[in-house]
Chains A and B, each alone.
Chain A
Amino acid sequence: DAKTTQPPSMDCAEGRAANLPCNHSTISGNEYVYWYRQIHSQGPQYIIHGLKNNETNEMASLIITEDRKSSTLILPHATLRDTAVYYCIVSYSMNRDDKIIFGKGTRLHILP
């Protein structure tokens, strides 16, 4: 079973920041939070991941709460091309966890 829960859908106006929440209350100490997105029927695409600290890359920012039980993916200036299903996944980074489970994901609609 997936270790994460996400809202099924969200809307965001084009140009605004999209904030996608994820709950992972059973996360263990050395599990990472990964975010992927799937545009239509393409292969899921890696966005960002983190362990404890907030992370930022060219695509997004990841905010992880201090207790690590939830996180938020931020797309700072959403465009129509960001319309996709976004998946939050908890996984060990490098070993042991070979059953990487996708949950239900959040369908993000960017509104023009």
Chain B
Amino acid sequence: AAGVIQSPRHLIKEKRETATLKCYPIPRHDTVYWYQQGPGQDPQFLISFYEKMQSDKGSIPDRFSAQQFSDYHSELNMSSLELGDSALYFCASRSRRVMDTGELFFGEGSRLTVL
């Protein structure tokens, strides 16, 4: 079965550079979530989208932005990167249709290292 696809899996950037992470949700899933997980930390909610509109925001820095496109894939853009942005970034998708059970399906994550 198709899963959530994230790319790239690994990314190395310098301070003050820009990075873009991509997420392709499971087909028919209408909601996408982004999480940041620092070393030894629990996943922190960043932002979510439903039907291409931002639906909720968590602890996402102003330097970060995200959007969901017409094909439901989502991109997380991070600018002016700082050392503290080094983390695993997970994307998750779910379906909010009545007949579905609503669980989140996670991708394998994108590991960002800022040097």
B88 and A98 contacting across the interface, CB-CB below 8 Å: no
The interface residues of chain A lying within 8 Å CB-to-CB of B92 are 43-44
The interface residues of chain A lying within 8 Å CB-to-CB of B88 are 41
Check: B8 CB closer than 8 A to any chain A CB. Answer: no
What is the number of residues of chain A that contact chain B, defined by CB distance less than 8 Å? 26
- Given that A99-B56, A100-B45, A102-B45 are known contacts, is A94 also in contact with B108, CB under 8 Å in the complex? no
Residue of B whose beta carbon sits closest to that of A104: B42
A94 and B97 contacting across the interface, CB-CB below 8 Å: yes
The interface residues of chain B lying within 8 Å CB-to-CB of A49 are 101-103
- Could you show 18 A-B contacts with beta carbons less than 8 Å apart? A34-B104, A38-B43, A41-B37, A41-B109, A43-B108, A46-B104, A49-B102, A49-B103, A85-B42, A94-B97, A94-B98, A94-B100, A94-B102, A98-B55, A98-B56, A99-B56, A100-B33, A101-B58
Which A residues lie at the B interface, using CB under 8 A? 32, 34, 36, 38, 41-46, 49, 85, 87, 91-95, 98-105
